[in-house]
Amino acid sequence: MDAAAPRVLPAGTAAAASTHARLVTTSVSPCPLQPKLHFTAFFAAALLLLIFPAVARDKPAKSPQVELLEFAAHRSESLVSLDANVRNAGDKPIHNLTLVFTFAAPDKVTVTTQRAAIEEEWLAPGDDASIHAQLEDPVRAVNITVSATDSRNFELRLAKPGPYAID
Give per-residue pLDDT as tens, 131-159: 999 998 888 889 999 999 998 999 999 99
Measure the CA–CA gap between 58 and 128, rounded to whole angstroms.
Answer: 32
Q: Which residues have CB under 8 Å from 41's CB, separation 6+?
A: none
Q: In whole angstroms, what is the distance from residue 124 CA to residue 97 CA? A: 11
Q: What is the pTM of this model?
A: 0.63
The pLDDT tens digits for 6-43 are 555 555 555 544 544 444 444 555 555 455 555 676 77
* Amino acid occupying residue 43: F
pLDDT value at residue 132: 92
Q: What are phi and psi of 20, to 5 degrees?
A: -65, -45
| CB-CB contact of 149 with 101 (8 Å) | no
